[in-house]
């Protein structure tokens, strides 16, 4: 099979690495890709927001399957445009990607199909939103309705923070994404990520993970795209997974089909788990980054076989096997991240076989005058497996310490919650 992978981050490098291991694969292309992905794929200089150009490339090169990494092209309808051009594709339609593209849409779906989630209100003007926030009081959560690159959520512990969050949405800080706002009840508990592969009818459980969103050790400091992750998430016991499927995922699949927009692709549920069970915080309609990196390290089965089955509506015949080991990834970022990361510093010491089972996925790198350089905020994902999360953590940090990149930094405590649990603390 000839496969085209869209995207350029660490998530896509992990997908490329796993796809390249498939005996079904004859040729992998990636657009735009990165220097890490270039180890597994031929990079193509395609503008992936130009769906006509992507479809033209697929026709010319006789691409058998397109796999989309990031959310923006999905929300912009690339799956519809490629399918209309007769190209096979793994990923949700524009209507189905509303599960990520509109938080209000997802909340209304939850209300209509009885899916456990935080109580909420939807508003398109400041005065009404403000009145609701003042009535409910803090703590409270303010969310821009649309895609805001992970920045549209304010978890407000005081009324003043909540009002600032509302102002930021309605003054245009998030562009059109903030023209509508969801105001939510503040939930407490432990967060986890739960993934399913979906084919419009069947949702096949596809692993669990936990990530670290804050930039600093101890989960402090500004929010980021994610500074590390591990899998599996200990809080996702077989009982919680069974309840998540029955109470959240299956009603979502039925509801989306009933609304005329059946969901096919990766359904990524952000969950809050407390003594009453799981509640949905939000949906994403693609793999998490860096959660994908740890899932790919643990996946025993052939990813391409599974994605084909999803594209053909055949997931009810499939099962997924995982390695027993835990996996953990540490994000190395360029100094300045998440504000203004410094670009251009040279990274040494990541070439060649390490022979220790670790993988270094490229997230934001470039080649400049023959040298590998930092080219973004999150730059490398140093990923390892181990018998426990603690062992995977030791392996990952040992690999981090072999990298020669003085201008990079990482958190030193990725996985702390699971490691403490393993130690019985």
Q: Which residues contact 197 (CB under 8 A, 6 or more apart)?
A: 203, 204, 206, 266, 306, 307, 310, 315, 320
Quote the least distance from Cβ 68 to ligand AMP, whole Å. Answer: 20
Structure tokens at 78: 């690339």
Quote the least distance from Cβ 211 to ligand AMP, whole Å. Answer: 8
Binding site for ligand AMP (CB under 6 A): 118, 141, 143, 153, 155, 184-187, 191, 270, 281-282
Quote the least distance from Cβ 135 to ligand AMP, whole Å. Answer: 17
User: What's the start-to-end Cα distance of the chain, in Å?
Assistant: 49
Quote the least distance from Cβ 5 to ligand AMP, whole Å. Answer: 25
In the complex with ligand AMP, which residue's Cβ is closer, 71 or 282? 282
Quote the least distance from Cβ 121 to ligand AMP, whole Å. Answer: 12
In the complex with ligand AMP, which residue's Cβ is closer, 108 or 185? 185
In the complex with ligand AMP, which residue's Cβ is closer, 186 or 322? 186
Q: Helix and strand tally (H, E) in the chain? A: 14, 22
In the complex with ligand AMP, which residue's Cβ is closer, 70 or 270? 270
Structure tokens at 141: 């959560």
Torsion of CA 166, 125, 116, 282, to 10 degrees: -60
In the complex with ligand AMP, which residue's Cβ is closer, 191 or 301? 191
Quote the least distance from Cβ 17 to ligand AMP, whole Å. Answer: 26
Torsion of CA 169, 170, 175, 177, to 10 degrees: 60
Distance CA 87, CA 3 (A): 11
Quote the least distance from Cβ 103 to ligand AMP, whole Å. Answer: 7
In the complex with ligand AMP, which residue's Cβ is closer, 136 or 318? 136
Quote the least distance from Cβ 307 to ligand AMP, whole Å. Answer: 25
In the complex with ligand AMP, which residue's Cβ is closer, 105 or 397? 105
Q: DSSP string of 101-156?
A: H-HHHHHHHHHHTT--B--EEEESSHHHHHHHHHHH-SSEEEEESS--TT--EEEE
In the complex with ligand AMP, which residue's Cβ is closer, 133 or 384? 133
Q: DSSP string of 206-267?
A: EEEEEE--EEETTTEEEE-S-SEEEES-TT--HHHHHHHIIIIIHHHHHHHHHTT---EEEE
> Residue with structure tokens 């981050």?
9
51 near 81, Cβ under 8 Å?
yes
């Amino acid at each position: 099979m000839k496969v085209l992978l869209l995207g350029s981050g660490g998530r896509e490098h992990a997908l490329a690495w796993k796809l390249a291991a498939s005996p079904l694969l004859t040729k992998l292309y990636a657009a735009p890709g990165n220097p890490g992905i270039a180890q597994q794929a031929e990079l193509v200089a395609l503008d992936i927001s130009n769906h006509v150009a992507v479809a033209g490339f697929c026709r010319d090169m006789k691409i058998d399957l397109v796999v989309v990494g990031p959310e923006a092209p999905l929300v912009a309808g690339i799956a519809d445009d490629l399918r209309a051009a007769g190209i096979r594709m793994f990923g949700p339609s524009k209507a189905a990607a509303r599960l990520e593209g509109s938080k209000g849409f997802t909340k209304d779906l939850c209300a209509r199909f009885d899916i456990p989630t935080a109580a909420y209100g939807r508003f398109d003007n400041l005065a009404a939103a403000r009145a609701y926030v003042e009535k409910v009081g803090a703590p409270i959560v303010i969310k821009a309705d649309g895609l805001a690159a992970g920045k549209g959520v304010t978890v407000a512990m005081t009324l003043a923070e909540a009002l600032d969050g509302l102002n930021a949405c309605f003054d245009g800080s998030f562009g059109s994404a903030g023209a509508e706002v969801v105001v939510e009840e503040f939930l407490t508990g432990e967060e986890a990520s739960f993934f399913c592969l979906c084919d419009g009818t069947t949702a096949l459980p596809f692993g669990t993970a936990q990530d670290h969103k804050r930039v600093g050790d101890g989960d402090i400091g500004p929010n980021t795209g994610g500074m590390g992750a591990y899998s599996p998430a200990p809080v996702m016991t077989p009982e919680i997974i069974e309840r998540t499927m029955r109470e959240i995922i299956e009603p979502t699949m039925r509801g989306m089909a009933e609304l005329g927009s059946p969901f096919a692709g990766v359904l990524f549920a952000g969950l809050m788990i407390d003594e009453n069970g799981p509640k949905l915080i939000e949906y994403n309609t693609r793999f998490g980054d860096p959660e994908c990196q740890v899932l790919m390290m643990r996946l025993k089965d052939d990813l391409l076989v599974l994605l084909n089955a999803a594209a053909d509506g055949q997931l009810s015949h499939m099962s997924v096997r995982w390695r027993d080991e835990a996996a953990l990834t540490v994000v190395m970022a360029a100094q300045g991240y998440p504000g203004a990361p410094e670009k251009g510093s040279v990274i040494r010491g990541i070439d060649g076989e390490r022979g220790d089972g670790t993988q270094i996925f490229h997230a934001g790198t470039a080649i400049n005058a023959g040298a590998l350089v930092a080219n973004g905020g999150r730059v490398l994902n140093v990923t390892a497996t181990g018998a426990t999360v603690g062992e995977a953590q030791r392996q990952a940090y040992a690999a981090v310490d072999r990298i020669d990149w003085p201008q990079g930094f990482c958190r030193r405590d990725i996985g702390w919650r699971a490691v403490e649990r393993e130690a019985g603390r």
